[in-house]
C-alpha cells in the first residue's frame, strides 16, 4: 500500500512563494502527481514526476527524490485564484492506481 503525508493547511500572501511538501512510503512506485482542487470541483492536473529532479511549469514547479520518498510543489508569485487544495498522489506499478494524500489547503491573502 501507500502512505502519503502532506501538511493540512498553509497560508501565504499574494505574490509570495509557498512550498508544499509530500512524503510517501510505497510498496511500488510509478510516478508522483500533483493536482489542484477548488472547492466543489474535480481535481485538475498540475505536474508529474517519475525521475528525480525538478520539473518547472510556469509559476508551478515540482521536485522528486525517489530515494527519500519526498516531493514538493512550489507555487511562485501567488495569486488569489491559487487558493485551493493541492493533492499529492502516488501511482503504483501494479494496477497503476493513484493513492492520494489528504490534501493541503492553501489560502492566499491579499
Partner 1 sequence: GAVVSQHPSWVICKSGTSVKIECRSLDFQATTMFWYRQFPKQSLMLMATSNEGSKATYEQGVEKDKFLINHASLTLSTLTVTSAHPEDSSFYICTTAPGYTDTQYFGPGTRLTVL
Instruction: For strands 9-13 and 104-109, give the pairing.
Output: parallel
Exposed (0-12), middle (13-18) or buried (19+): which is 23, by Cβ within 10 Å? middle
- In this chain, which stretch among 14-22, 33-41, 61-69, 74-82 interacts with partner 1, using CB under 8 A? 33-41
Assess 18 for contact with partner 1 (CB under 8 A): no
Quick one: which of 3, 25, 27, 44 contacts partner 1 (CB under 8 A)? 44
Assess 42 for contact with partner 1 (CB under 8 A): yes
Quick one: which of 13, 96, 107, 109 contacts partner 1 (CB under 8 A)? 96
Listed in sequence order, the residues at least 6 apart from 58 whose beta carbon sits closer than 8 Å to its beta carbon are none
Amino acid at each position: 500500500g501507500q502512505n502519503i503525508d502532506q501538511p493540512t493547511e498553509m497560508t501565504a500572501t499574494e505574490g509570495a512563494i509557498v512550498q508544499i511538501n509530500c512524503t510517501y512510503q510505497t510498496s511500488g512506485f510509478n510516478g508522483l502527481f500533483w493536482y489542484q482542487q477548488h472547492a466543489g470541483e474535480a481535481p485538475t492536473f498540475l505536474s508529474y514526476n517519475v525521475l528525480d529532479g525538478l520539473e518547472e511549469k510556469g509559476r508551478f514547479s515540482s521536485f522528486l527524490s525517489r530515494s527519500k520518498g519526498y516531493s514538493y510543489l512550489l507555487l511562485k508569485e501567488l495569486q488569489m485564484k491559487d487558493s485551493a487544495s493541492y493533492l499529492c498522489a502516488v501511482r503504483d506499478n501494479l494496477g497503476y492506481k493513484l493513492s492520494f494524500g489528504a490534501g493541503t489547503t492553501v489560502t492566499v491573502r491579499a
